[in-house]
Amino acid sequence: MAQMPQRRAGTGQRLFLDTPVTYLKGVGPARADALRRLGIITAGDLLFHVPHRYEDASTISPISALEPGMQGTMIGTVISKGVIPTRKGLRIFQAVLRDESGMMEVSWPGQPFLDRTINKGDALLVTGTVRFFHGRQFQPREFVNLGDDADTAAGRVLSVYPATEGLSFKLLRTIIETHLDALLPQLEEYLPGDVLRAAGVPGIADALRMVHRPATLDEAMRGRSRLAFEELFFVQLLHQRARELARVHRSGISFVNRRALTSRLRESLPFQLTAAQVRSVREIFADMCSDRRMQRLLQGDVGSGKTIVALFAALLAIENGYQAAIMAPTELLAEQHARTMTQLLAPLGIAPILLTGSLPARERRAIAERLASSEPVLVVGTHALLEQTTTFAKLGFAAIDEQHRFGVEQRKALGAKGEMPDVLLMSATPIPRSLALTLYGDLDLSLLDERPPGRQPVTTGLRRESSRARVFQFVERQIAAGRQAYVVYPVIEESEKSDLKAATTMYDVLSSGPFAGRRLALLHGRVPADERDAIMRRFRDGEIDVLVATTVIEVGIDVPNATVMLIEHPERFGLSQLHQLRGRVGRGADESFCILLGDVSPDAAARLQVFARTEDGFEIAREDLRIRGMGDLFGERQSGVPTFRIADPLRDEALNERARAAAESLLEHDPGLEQPSHAGLRRVLGERYARSLELFRVG
C-alpha cells in the first residue's frame, strides 16, 4: 500500500487530537487496522483507550523469595520455553523465568499458542501462585509481556491496555506513552466547573494523565473515578431529559379515583395487601390521576405479588369508563392471569376476557368487536393483543408482564393502541434501586421489596455427586406423596466439547431409572411453543410428575403442587437465574425444596452457599452483580439498557448518586443545554450518544 511519509507527524511536527492515527510515527496500515478494531481512529481516541487494569510493579517479589503456597507477582526474563504434550492430550506452554535472585518455571496448561507470542529474552510480569510440582512451579493467574522492557516496569504502576491481534499491549503502551504529553494539553474540559466540584473528581486532562501514567494505584483510581462519573452523568442527563420531555409532551388521561371498584376489590381480597403493594398502588394511582401519561416500571421479586397491583390499576381505568389490557409473554401465563383475575373479580361482577392466538377465529372476532365498542372491559392476552385486527375503542391502561420478554417495539406497540393510555411495565429481575434508576432511568419506578406473609421458605441445599442416588430417592418419595418435581439441566443435548449432563439424555436415564413408572415430560427451547404450552398445562393440571427441562420453565408460572426444584450442574447458572428457578416452588402449603446437585469447585460452592442462605432476591442480585458483572444479570443483554465502558453503576453507587444529583441541578438551570458554557458538553454528548440527537437536538 502507498505510504505518505510527508504527511506523517514525525518529530517536530504538530500532532492534533483529530489527526488520524495512520499519520502517527510507527503506525503503518496494518497497525492502523488493528487500532481501528479497538475503535481508535484519531490521536484523540488514543487518549480514551484507557488501561483495563494495572500491575503494581512496586510490590514485585524477587523470584527466590516466592515460597510454595504463596501468591505473588514477579518479573523475569524468559531463558527457555516450549510446548509440552501430556498423556491426556492437553498441551502445556512452559517457560523458565530468571531475575537477579533466581529462577522459576511457569506453566500455562492448554495455552500452546503462547509459544508464538512469548520469545526467549522477553521480560514477563506474572501474577499467580507458587505450588510444588517437580520443584517450585508458578501457576500464573495473569501476565504481561513487557518485551525487552523489564526496567521501565520496575518500581511503578504499570498500565495494561486492552490489546488485539496484531497490536500487543506493549506496542499500544508505547504509542500512547509517546504521544500523551503532546495530546493532553489540547483537551478542553467539557464538564461544567460546578459539576466537577460537586462530584469531587479531577478535570479531564488530569484524569487521563492519572489513568495512563499513574504514580500510584490510588492515583489511577482517582483518574478512573472521573471517567466513570462522566459516563454515569451522561446517562443521567439523557434519562432525565427524556423523562422531562415525556412530561411536557405526553399528556395523558386524568382518571378520577372514584373508590368504586377498587375499594370493593380491596374489601373482597382473601388477604391483606403488603405495605409495598399499598405503596405501589398509591404511586400508580397518583400517576393515573395526574394529567400526564404514566410510564412506570413495577419491579418485584418472584412471588412479591405484582399481578394484584396491576389489577388495581386496571380497575381504576374501568371505573372511569375506560378499557384495560394486561399482556403476558405466553398463552400459559395469560391463561393463569385470566383465571386468577376471574376469581378475584367474581364478587365485583366483572369477568375478564382472555385473548390468545389459539382461540377459534369466531371467538376472536367476537372479542375484537367488544374491544372496538367502548365497553369498559378488562382483557388479558398474549401478543395477540398487538395484532392489527385488535383495536381498542377506549384503552386507558396497559400493563406488560415480564416486560423483558418483549422487544422494545412490542412494548411500545401496546401503548400505541389507545389515546395515550397509562403504561405499567412489570419485571421480576430484582435489582437495587440506584441501579434500576440508571438502567431504566426514563421510567418511573415502583418497588415491591417485601414478600406477602405466610409464604413457606424453600429449603435449599447443595448435594455432592456421591449422594446422587439418595437425592433421587428423596424426589421419588415426594412424588409418591402426590407432589411434583422439576429437574433442570444447563443444556439440551450432550456434546463432545463438554461433559455436561443434558436434558434429553437425562430424560431417558430418569424415565428408565429413578422415576421408572412415573409420568415424565421433556421441555426445552427447541420444543415448539404450542407444544411447550401443552406440556406446561399438563404439568399444571397434575398429569405430569416430573418435568425434565432447561431454563425455559416459564417464569411466573404457578404450580402450587410442585415441591421440588432439582438443578444439576448448578455452577453453570447465575445466582439470579437459580433464584428465578427456585421461585417455581414453595407456592403451596407443603414444604418445598431446592436441591443443587453436583461436585463444584470451592469458589462455586461458596457462591452457591450465598444463594442457599437467603431468599432475598435483591441480595442475590447484588452478589451476582459482584461476581459476574452487569452483562449477565439478565441472562442476555436487554435492548435499550445502557452499557458502560468504565463505570459499574452498582460498585460506583456513590458516584452514581452524585451523577444523578448533578444532572438534575444542571437540567433545572439549562434544560436544553443551550447556554454557551455548555457547548462542550453538548458536543461530547452528541459524539457519544446517538440518543442525544433527538433529546437535545445536538449538532
Interface with Mg ion (CB under 5 A): 556
* C-beta nearest to ligand ADP: residue: 305
514 binds, among ligand ADP, Mg ion, none (CB under 5 to 8 A by kind): none
Nearest distance from C-beta of residue 556 to ligand ADP, angstroms: 6
Backbone angles phi, psi at 134, to 5 degrees: 45, 55
User: C-alpha cell of 293?
Assistant: 401519561
Among 232, 302, 338, 443, binds ligand ADP (CB under 6 A): 302
The full length of the chain comes to 699
Nearest distance from C-beta of residue 576 to Mg ion, angstroms: 16
Q: Give the helix, strand, coil percentages of the chain, each rounded to 5.
A: 45, 20, 35
Count of residues of this chain found to bind ligand ADP when the rule CB under 6 A is applied? 16
Question: How far apart, in whole angstroms, are the C-alpha atoms of residue 374 and residue 366?
Answer: 14
| 427 is a site residue for ligand ADP (CB under 6 A) | no
Query: Computed from CA positions of residues 425, 427, 433, 436, in that sequence, does the dihedral angle turn out positive or negative?
Result: negative
By CB under 6 A, the residues from 429 to 468 that bind ligand ADP are: 452
Angle at which helix 306-319 crosses helix 261-268, to 10 degrees, equals 150
Q: How many CB atoms lie within 10 A of CB 150?
A: 17
The stretch near ligand ADP (CB under 6 A) out of 270-278, 472-480, 538-546, 643-651 is: 270-278
Nearest distance from C-beta of residue 401 to Mg ion, angstroms: 6
By CB under 6 A, the residues from 511 to 570 that bind ligand ADP are: 556
| 300 is a site residue for ligand ADP (CB under 6 A) | yes
User: C-alpha cell of 154?
Assistant: 520496575
- From the number of C-beta atoms within 10 Å of its C-beta (0-12, 13-18, 19+), residue 354 rates as buried
| Residues 111-130 as x/- pattern, contact with ligand ADP by CB under 6 A | --------------------
Nearest distance from C-beta of residue 580 to Mg ion, angstroms: 11
> How many Å is the maximal CA-CA distance in the chain?
88
The stretch near ligand ADP (CB under 6 A) out of 198-206, 240-248, 266-274, 406-414 is: 266-274
Nearest distance from C-beta of residue 339 to ligand ADP, angstroms: 11
Nearest distance from C-beta of residue 323 to ligand ADP, angstroms: 22
Nearest distance from C-beta of residue 17 to ligand ADP, angstroms: 51
Beta carbon nearer to ligand ADP, 230 or 615: 615
Among 19, 42, 73, 274, binds ligand ADP (CB under 6 A): 274
Beta carbon nearer to ligand ADP, 555 or 698: 555
The stretch near ligand ADP (CB under 6 A) out of 58-66, 152-160, 301-309, 349-357 is: 301-309
Where residue 390 falls (left for φ over 0; alpha for ψ -120 to 50; beta otherwise) is beta
Among 306, 411, 622, 678, binds ligand ADP (CB under 6 A): 306
The stretch near ligand ADP (CB under 6 A) out of 176-184, 269-277, 319-327, 664-672 is: 269-277
Of residues 553, 551, 524, the one with CA closest to residue 540:
553
Give the DSSP per-residue string, 598-665: S---HHHHHHHHHHHH---HHHHHHHHHHHH-GGGTTSSPPTT----SS--TTTTHHHHHHHHHHHHH
Residue 12 contacts residue 29 (beta carbons within 8 Å): no
| 271 is a site residue for ligand ADP (CB under 6 A) | yes
352 binds, among ligand ADP, Mg ion, none (CB under 5 to 8 A by kind): none
394 binds, among Mg ion, ligand ADP, none (CB under 5 to 8 A by kind): none
Among 19, 77, 262, 304, binds ligand ADP (CB under 6 A): 304
Residues forming beta bridges with residue 9, ordered by sequence position: 24
CB burial readout 380-406, b (16+ within 10 A) else e: bbbbbbbeeebebebbbbbbbbbbbeb
| 19 is a site residue for ligand ADP (CB under 6 A) | no
Question: How far apart, in whole angstroms, are the C-alpha atoms of residue 30 and residue 13?
Answer: 23
| 381 is a site residue for ligand ADP (CB under 6 A) | no
Residue 272 contacts residue 526 (beta carbons within 8 Å): no
User: Grid coordinates 440506584 are at which residue?
Assistant: 434
Beta carbon nearer to ligand ADP, 405 or 626: 405
Nearest distance from C-beta of residue 581 to Mg ion, angstroms: 15
Three-state DSSP class for residue 26 = coil
CA dihedral 205, 207, 209, 212 (to 10 degrees): -140
| 580 is a site residue for ligand ADP (CB under 6 A) | no
The stretch near ligand ADP (CB under 6 A) out of 195-203, 299-307, 368-376, 690-698 is: 299-307
Nearest distance from C-beta of residue 584 to ligand ADP, angstroms: 11
Nearest distance from C-beta of residue 431 to Mg ion, angstroms: 17
Of residues 558, 404, 358, 566, the one with CA closest to residue 479:
566
Interaction site with ligand ADP (CB under 6 A): 271-274, 277, 300, 302-308, 428, 452, 556
